[in-house]
Amino acid sequence: MGEQAPAEASGKARPASQGKASAKKPKAATAVAAGASGKGKPESRLAMIRRARRINRELAEVYPYAHPELDFRNSFELLVATVLSAQTTDLRVNQTTPALFAAYPTPEDMAAADPERLEELIRPTGFFRMKAKSLLGLSQALRDRFDGEVPGRLEDLVTLPGVGRKTANVVLGNAFGVPGITVDTHFGRLVRRFKWTEQQDPEKVEAEICGIFPKSDWTMLSHRVVFHGRRICHARNPACGACPIAPLCPAYGEGETDPEKAKKLLKYEKGGYPGQRLSPPPDYPGLPAPPLGARTES
C-alpha cells in the first residue's frame, strides 16, 4: 500500500541529527549499532532491557490509541477474524467479515454452514478452501466440546483447528484480558531490528521477549510494535527520518533518513489515509477503512 505525505507530521520531536539523507546517525543509535555489530563495546543485557523498555514507553506515547486492527464484537468474531487474517491484510478481513457474521453469528450457526457458501463468503481473504475447513472445524469443536463458547485458556484454544499460539494470544489478550505476546511478521521483524532477539522461530521470539518485559506489558507491547511496523518501520524501506525512536534503534539508516522524504513513506493515519478497521475505536485519530468494493488509496 503506497502512501503520500501526511497532512501533518507526527507530534514527536525528531532527533536534531536527522537532517538530509546524508545526515549522521543520532549518537545514541550510533552507539547502539556499534555495540550490536561488535565494533564497539557490546551492549550488556541490562542495557538492552533498559533500551527495550524505553522504546516501549516511547511507542506508548506515539500510539496511545494502539489496538487490535481486526473488527470484532465478541470472542468468537475475534477468533474467526484472526484465523482469516493468515496470508492477507486485516483490512481485507474486516471488509469480508460483516457478511460472514451476518450469515453465521454463532459457533452453532457456522458449524452447520454449507461449505460452498462459507467458501464463497470468505473468498476475498485468499486460501478460502483451507480457511473454510478450519472455520467449520473450530466451530464444530466449540459447539461440541465447549458448549458454544470460546475457551479462555491457551491450552484449549490451540486444540481448535487452524488455531496456533499466535491466534490464541490474540484472542486471550484482546477478548479475555490475558496478557500475551503476538509474534506476527511485523513484530518479529522489528524486535530483530531493535536487537531484542536474534531468534527466527516465533515461539522462541515470544519466549525471549516475554523475558524482557513485565507480563502486564505484553498485549499492548504487541499492538505498539505492530502499529510501528505497519506505519513507519516498513520491511523494505523504513521511514527512519520520520521515526520517533530513531536514537534508540540500532537499525537506523536502513531506510530513508531524509525527514521530508521519510514523511512520504508513512502509512495509515500517519500518512493521512484510512486505517484497517471499518469500525475503529472511538479514540482512533485516523479515518475508518472503506467497505469491500469501495475505492481505496493504493
Catalytic residue IDs = 166, 184
Integer Cα distance of 201 and 280 in angstroms: 31
128 touches 122 (CB < 8 A):
yes
Cβ neighbours for 202, distance < 8 A, ≥ 6 positions apart: 165, 166, 183, 188
CA angle 18–42–28, rounded 5-degree value:
20
Half-sphere exposure of 90 (CA within 13 A, CB side): 24
SS3 category, 142: helix
Integer Cα distance of 147 and 169 in angstroms: 21
280 touches 271 (CB < 8 A):
no
Cell, residue 134: 478450519
By C-alpha distance, which of 57, 55, 59, 45 is closest to 208? Answer: 45
Integer Cα distance of 220 and 66 in angstroms: 7
* CA separation, residue 204 to residues 3, 61, 82, 195, 201 (Å): 34, 28, 21, 14, 5
Given the C-alpha cell 494470544, which residue does it identify?
A: 169
Residue type, 245: I
Cell, residue 133: 475447513
